[in-house]
Amino acid sequence: MALKVETARGAMTGTRYIESLRDGREVWLDGDKVPDVTTHPAMTGMVHELARIYDLQHSEQYRDEMTFVSPETGKRCSLSWLLPRSHEDLKRQRRNSEIWNEESWGQLGRSPDILAPHIISLVAISDALGQVKHPKCDFGENIINYHRYCMENDLFLTHALGDPQVDRSQQPQNETRGDGETEVALHVIEETADGVIVHGAKQLATAAPISNETYVSLSATFMRRSDPRFILAFSIPTDTPGMKILCREPVSQWPGSYGHPLGAVYDEQDSMLFFDHVLVPWDRIFMLYDSAPLLQRLGSEANFRGWSNLCRIHQRMKLMTAVATLIAEAIGVIEYREVSAKLGEMAMHTEMWRHAMDGVEHNAFPADNGFMSLGSTSGMNIYFAQMSARMVELLREISGSGMIMQPSEADLANPEFRPYLDRYMPGRGVGVEYKSRLFRLAHDLAASSFGMRQEIYEYWHGGDPNRNRINLLRNYDQTDITERIKTLIAEPLRS
Ligand SMILES: Cc1cc2nc3c(=O)[nH]c(=O)nc-3n(C[C@H](O)[C@H](O)[C@H](O)COP(=O)(O)OP(=O)(O)OC[C@H]3O[C@@H](n4cnc5c(N)ncnc54)[C@H](O)[C@@H]3O)c2cc1C
């Protein structure tokens, strides 16, 4: 078996993470092949920020809050990978995700604690995966081994679930879909003694250029397919031959300046993945030709999605509310009734989210397989897909034109020009430097290309919110109240 843990190295360190990315992966950006993602200006900020947080796992302050000792190897492993079996485990995992997200200001959609729960949720249905039989491997065993391998090496995963956005006019389960599908969507073209050869593309995978592995599967939209060759779930190292990664235009501009304090560091990159005759070894395949196990997971009450998304959203809302408050103070508008009410609305959304997270923790329950499931989050990600835009809107409304009209660091440093800035651009009780940097932080949250990418991410990352709303409605049991309403309207009103 290739996925050995005997030589595993435990919780990731910053140095090891940076080294792990220098492996010959094929990354393309703006027409060029990137020779080393760790030094490329579009990615180096993000790489070093993740490295910094990985090192916290080994610090006196955070070691016990971010890691646990593996019973199998005795090595410290990230709590992101712990198979939760008690309320206490879930609490520890929440704290771990809080640290990741506090440290990164709630800006990382693909922090390393995001994909670990995806893999854990597959481990939780390993029995069902194993029931789909294939002579070359046991899919249930594969996922258990893969989880151990990731946990003991603390690997950073991304995922790629969707078909390329070429022609959405037909559903994947349409039998007449025909050649167009084999032209673009990822599918098996051959089985060999070593594994399957896959060909096609995926749109898209956040952080793929700086990840260790990519988990490839199907989203709810694409899981039901008429052609079984398109049904597959697997994970491969980022340097796998034939996998080509195309980066979008970076939003990490102006590095080194105060101007883009978030964008300069937290541009995760989003990428198209092209698979050109890629070999996927048998022990890395979790589903093939039959999507029944994953469909079962979608319908399950058990929730192993983990804390990361929830903690990220909470941190992001806290940050936006606090920046809006500081801005209202800095330009002397905080006492205005309308402005205070808007700030109050931001605080309300932030507090509602925290209460919902507490409810998710409170409603945790032991699932059939002995793992501890979080309570339901059924409407939460849809809610935030809508609410994120409202938070951005409120921040913009409170900031006025100051969100865009601020001097740059070079303007501030110019002695000839500086007197004008000191005179005409300070705030109420604050100097021009403080005020302009604060406003440019707001700009990075709500107006810059980084801020806009974050907002697009929040809207789409959980899948099409319309699809999710419809699925929520279909599973939303209203029989209790609808029966009472029918009784109410069937009886004459009492006088
Ligand atoms: C910043 C960002 C990061 C992301 N990161 C990841 C990642 O790491 N991994 C990953 O797997 N995915 C990722 N995604 C993809 C995300 O899951 C998809 O964007 C989402 O599922 C929507 O799919 P789409 O973008 O292909 O839009 P489309 O499905 O093409 O939708 C385009 C429009 O058509 C409508 N539409 C499409 N189909 C139908 C239909 N059948 N009926 C009615 N209306 C329809 C949609 O509502 C929408 O208005 C990311 C997306 C973004 C924007």
State residue 183's pLDDT score: 87
| Protein residue whose Cα sits closest to atom 37 of ligand 1 | 168
pLDDT higher than 80, residue 256: no
CA–CA distance, 183 with 163 (Å, rounded to integer): 11
Q: What is the mean pLDDT of residues 237-262?
A: 88
Distance CA 345, CA 349 (A): 6
Confidence check: pLDDT of 414 > 70: yes
Let me know if 491 is exposed, middle or buried by CB neighbors in 10 A (0-12, 13-18, 19+).
exposed
To test ligand 1's pocket by mutation, which of 204, 221, 381, 458 has the most ligand atoms within 8 angstroms of CB? 204
**pLDDT level of residue 259 (50, 70, 90 thresholds):** confident
- pLDDT digit string (tens) for 288-303? 999 999 998 887 889 9
Q: Whose CA is nearest to atom 38 of ligand 1?
A: 168
Ligand 1 centre to CA of 166 (Å) is: 12
Closest C-alpha residue for ligand 1 atom 26:
165
Distance, CA 443 to ligand 1 centroid (Å)?
26
Evaluate if residue 227 carries a pLDDT over 70.
yes
Cis peptide bond prior to 204, omega within 30° of 0: yes
254 pLDDT higher than 70:
no
Q: How far is ligand 1, taken at its centre, from the CA of residue 11, in Å?
A: 33
Distance CA 107, CA 453 (A): 11
* Residue nearest (by alpha carbon) to ligand 1 atom 5: 206
CA distance 23 to 36: 9
pLDDT in tens, 61-110: 999 999 999 999 999 999 999 999 999 999 999 999 999 999 999 999 99
Number of alpha carbons in the 13 Å side-chain half-sphere of residue 392: 22
Q: Whose C-alpha lies nearest to ligand 1, atom 52?
A: 457
Which pair of structure tokens corresponds to residue 243? 């996998």
Residue type, 241: P
Question: Ligand 1 centre and the CA of 463: distance in Å?
Answer: 6
CA of residue 394 to ligand 1 center, whole Å: 26
pLDDT for residue 494: 77
Strand partners, 280: 196
Q: Please classify residue 482 by burial: count the beta carbons closer than 10 Å to its beta carbon, then call 0-12 exposed, 13-18 middle and 19+ buried.
A: exposed
Closest CA to 462 of 350, 320, 325, 305: 305
**Structure confidence at residue 468 as a pLDDT band (50, 70, 90):** very high
Enumerate domains of the chain plus CATH numbers: 14-299 (2.40.110.10), 308-483 (1.20.140.10)
Name every protein residue with a CB atom under 6 angstroms from any ligand 1 atom. 158-162, 165, 168, 203-206, 219, 270, 456-457, 460-461, 463-464, 466
Q: Cα(107) to centroid of ligand 1, in Å? A: 20
pLDDT, tens digit, 9 for 90 and up, residues 202-223: 999 999 999 999 999 999 889 9
For the CA of 202, the nearest atom of ligand 1: 11
Judged against a pLDDT cut of 80, whether residue 179 lies above it is answered with: no
Output the pLDDT for position 2.
67
Whole-model pTM: value is 0.96
The closest residue, in CA terms, to atom 49 on ligand 1 is 464
Q: Which of 294, 460, 469 gets mutated to test ligand 1 (max ligand atoms within 8 A of its CB)?
A: 460
Closest CA to 37 of 280, 262, 271: 271
Give the least confident one: 48-57, 232-241, 247-256, 316-325.
Answer: 247-256
